[in-house]
Structure 1
Amino acid sequence: MPSPPVTPPVELPPGRQSWRFKKTSACCEWVELYRPGGFHPVSLGDSFCAGKYRVIRKLGDGSFSTVWLAVSTSTPRYVALKIMVAKASTTDTELKILDHLEKAAPAHPNAQHVTVLLDIFQHQGPNGKHQCLVFEPMGATAASLVEELPENKPAMKGKRQRYPKWMAKQILLHALRGLAFLHEISVVHGDVQPGNLLFSIKDIKSLEEGELKQDEASTAIPVHRIDEKDDRWAPKILYLKQPLYDHVESGPNLHVKLSDLGAAFWLADPPSDTVTPIGLRAPELILHQPFGSGIDIWSFGCLVFEFLTGRSLFAVMMLSKEQEEQDDADDDHLTQLNDIIQPLPDSIMAAWPRASIWYGPNHEPLAPYGEGEPPHIHDSLEVLFAKNKPDEIGDEETAVVCSLVRQILQYDPAKRPSAVDLLKHPWFSE
């Protein structure tokens, strides 16, 4: 009888020679993350919270959690069960914020655009104690539903995938209402991005379980250890996610909610850093300066451009967390701000340690990659929008949208409009 495998370390393997499992090309969570401190191994049919919730379908996965559709023994009948990794279980701050939201929601009309917690409990598994959050089931994210729209199929190389203008406008309006609610109760979201905007679904309470359960035949990925031993820290099968695309309310009753408050913080007590996606960072985040609700507004301004055009406003990449790679990404981001929005002010130049590599004493652009090469200048906001906008947006509306984005993307956070101010903008009420 073979000896049982040793407990894997909490730290991720440094290279393939340390992997426990055979490689898969499946588009789901990395199986090596099933280890002490990591994901909880879930199998379809598993029960949680003393039988209160039973898993029937995988809705999604991320860096810190997996999300499952579960049958509830109480009402509502179906819920979304979010199981956090053990080492990053929900912080006291997030729990207090979620509790604060639940209490404030009934009195605030815009609360309907933020997902509200239904239940919370802890689950002990082979990889540790996991915080489990229960929410109403939602449909796809705004990052993924665009690929499922009939007008974007079939997906072809070079074909722009974007939402119709009316949908983009609704998504943005609902996100703005969600931000208005959070900011008015002194909460900053901290991670405003398409992946955290969820579409509501039609009522599924009356649907039979068989209509909603996972399609195992097409989504099951068997897991095999390299040494062929049984692994108690990982599931025997991984599942591709199956969002509730078919049940999304994508017509005139479309409804979007801000989700995932894992990076949220109190306005009066900001953390030292955030998880805002790299291309959506406000200048104060790039320069590691104090920040507040203005970072949400900046990200939203970037999303106005992104949802209407189908491309990111600032194309910034960081391939690793090494300091040199971070510095290069920051420099690239700041040069794009300078060209696309407006020249960087003296205050930002002074706070940017490597500004002299890119700009001369009179802010003239330099060529850091070699003598004789002209410095690269990015197109302005107006040129980029005109190049990428849909045909249904004419010249007059183009001017309105670009003016709106410029109004939002102020380098000084104090000059950015609030979410409540933006809701009064004519473009959102047309």
Structure 2
Amino acid sequence: MGGDVKALVKPAGSTSKHLPLPLAKRILLHVLHGLAHIHHCGVVHADLKHDNIMFDIGPMTRDDIETFIKMNPARRHPPEESWQCVVQAGVSQPLPLPSPSEAMTRNYMVADFGSAQLLDLRTTDKITPFPLRAPEIILRGPWDTKVDIWAFGCLIFELTTGSSLFKYKPYPEHKLDEPTGHLWQMLCFSCERMTCDRVNTSKLGAHYFEPAVDNPMFCDLKAHPPKINHPYPLSIRNYKVMEEKDNLATSLLMRRCLRLNPEDRATAEELLQDPWFHGAAQVIFLLYNYLRNH
């Protein structure tokens, strides 16, 4: 592999933290094909984030790599004491990062399946990095492949704006701890309400929510923070990274991923047909179809 997308988002010396929109689309489209394949196989990645998306080495040959290694011999950190011994760790020396134009020719792959779960043999509910966690994970409710779709929606925002959509932090002014603050942000950004059905089927649902006074179908946070609607177009617009027509199209795609009810989220295969990807760099469809059928 040539590296991970985290390195592309903010290379050394760069002041920009977001990717050009065409490159973000290429990366996300490739990731979506990977998700569609593993979901078809009954696998949830459960740890989708930009440093778990790798890119290939492009046109580099074995000779190119050997030349690079000769010109950049292995280096080590200064010795340091560890438990009952002294260690001297190696210095990470990645291959050169591709330029933005070169990155548009690379293939991107979902990597690191160390946290992956089989749908019919799940071993833990502690999945996905905090800012990318779906509401059903926080509430300890039933979950499936749609947790990857939620994380994918968060990645759309991250790669196009250079910032995390959700901040895992407390809001002491509203008496909210980190998980409750996270849930509050979800309610504000999605402009939706949590259903009582979802709360009642979650182990921690009653810890965070209580029946709403105005409608018995919905629940409100027990802490009663202010109800603020801050839809996705407003969040993207704050960063001034794309034209308004692109903002609206990007927001529509995010909304298909970031629904509070997992059943309302699109599948990976459905998202592949989204107009947002029209005109995006092609992926190897034959390879995807081969994997799908074998």
TM-score range, shorter chain: 0.7 to 0.9
**Which amino acid counterpart does residue 95 of structure 2 have in structure 1?**
L
Match of 2:61 in 1: 204
Post-superposition CA distance 1:372-392 (Å, at most 9, x none) = xx84847332211111141xx
Query: Counterparts of 1:378 and 1:242 in 2: how far apart (Å)?
Result: 45
Q: Tell me the secondary structure at the aligned position of residue 207 of structure 2.
A: coil
Select the residue among 315, 321, 335 that pairs with 2:167: 315
What is the aligned partner in structure 2 of residue 9 from structure 1? none
Gaps of 5+ in 1: 1-137, 319-326, 369-373
Q: CA deviation at 1:205?
A: 1.3
Give yes or no for contact 1:278–1:316 (8 Å, CA) kept in 2: yes
Q: Percent identity?
A: 30
- Secondary structure of the 1:250 match is helix
Alignment-derived partner of residue 45 in structure 2? 189
Q: In the alignment, does 2:24 pair up with 1:168? A: yes
Q: CA deviation at 1:354?
A: 3.0
Larger Rg over CA atoms: 1
1:239 aligns with 2:90: yes
> What amino acid is aligned across from residue 194 of structure 2 in structure 1?
P
Q: Structure 2 residue aligned with 1:345, among 177, 182, 194? A: 194
> 1:141-180 maps to which residues of 2 (within 5 A)?
141-148=4-11, 153-155=13-15, 160-180=16-36
Partner of 1:17: none
Q: Which residue of 2 is the match for residue 266 of structure 1?
A: 118
Q: Tell me how far apart the structure 2 counterparts of residues 366 and 246 of structure 1 sit (CA, whole Å).
A: 48
Q: After TM superposition, list the pairs within 5 Å mapping 1:116-135 onto structure 2.
A: none
Paired with 1:355 and 1:214, the residues of 2 have a C-alpha distance of 59
Partner of 2:62: helix, strand, or coil?
A: coil
Distance 1:344 1:142 in 2: 34
Matched pairs, number: 263
Counterpart of 1:333 in structure 2 is 182
- Change in 2 beyond 3 A, CA 1:212/1:416: same
Which residue does 1:384 correspond to in 2?
A: 235
Letter in 2 for 1:139: G
Whichever residue aligns with residue 206 of structure 1, its letter is D
Do the aligned residues in 1 keep the contact of 2:157 with 2:165 (CA within 8 Å)?
A: yes
Please say if 1:297 is aligned against 2:141: no
Aligned to 1:410: 259
Distance 1:304 1:364, change over 3 A: same
TM-score by length of 2: 0.78
Shift of the alpha carbon at 1:216?
Answer: 5.9
- Could you tell me how far 1:317 is from its partner in structure 2? 4.0
Distance 1:193 1:352, change over 3 A: farther
Q: 1:174 Cα deviation (Å)?
A: 0.6
Given the superposition, is the C-alpha separation of residues 186 and 360 from structure 1 closer, same or farther in structure 2, using an over 3 Å criterion?
closer
SS at match of 2:31: helix
CA distance in structure 2 between the aligned counterparts of 1:246 and 1:345, rounded to whole angstroms: 43
Superposition map of 1:36-47 within 5 A? none
RMSD between superposed Cα atoms in Å = 3.0
SS of the aligned residue for 1:207 comes to helix
- Look up the equivalent residue of 2:126 and give its one-letter code: T
Residues 397 and 316 of structure 1, relative CA distance in 2, 3 Å threshold: same
- Which residue matches 1:419? 268
Return the alpha-carbon distance in structure 1 between the equivalents of residues 111 and 208 of structure 2: 36
Provide the secondary structure at the position in 2 that maps to 1:257: strand
CA contact 2:46–2:148 (8 Å) conserved in 1? yes
Looking at structure 1, the residues matched to 228 and 221 of structure 2 have their Cα atoms a distance apart, in angstroms, of 8
For the residues of structure 2 that align with 1:386 and 1:336, how far apart are their CA atoms?
A: 17
Give the Cα separation in 1 of the matches to 2:108 and 2:178: 31
Tell me, yes or no, if the aligned pair for 2:188 and 2:227 is still in contact at 8 Å: no
Q: 1 CA distance for matches of 2:269 and 2:244?
A: 27
- Whole-Å separation in 2 of the counterparts to 1:295 and 1:193: 12
1:367–1:289: structure 2 CA closer, same or farther, 3 Å change rule?
Answer: closer
* Aligned match of 1:124: none
**Which stretch shifts more, 381-390 or 282-291?**
381-390
Higher relative contact order (CA 8 A, sep 6+): 2
Q: Which amino acid aligns with 1:170?
A: R
**Contact 1:337–1:344 (8 Å) recurs in 2:** no
For residue 98 of structure 1, what is the aligned residue in structure 2? none
Contact 1:336 1:378 in 2 (8 A): no
For 1:411 and 1:365, how far apart are their aligned partners in 2?
14
Contact preservation (8 Å) 1:163, 1:310: yes
Aligned residue type for 1:162: H
Contact residue 305 and residue 385 of structure 1 kept, 8 A? yes
SS at 1:161 equivalent: coil
Which one of the candidate residues 242, 246, 258 is aligned to 1:397? 246
* Post-superposition offset of 1:255: 1.1
Aligned to 1:371: none
Relative to the length of structure 1, the TM-score reads 0.55
Query: Equivalent residue of 1:225, what SS?
Result: strand
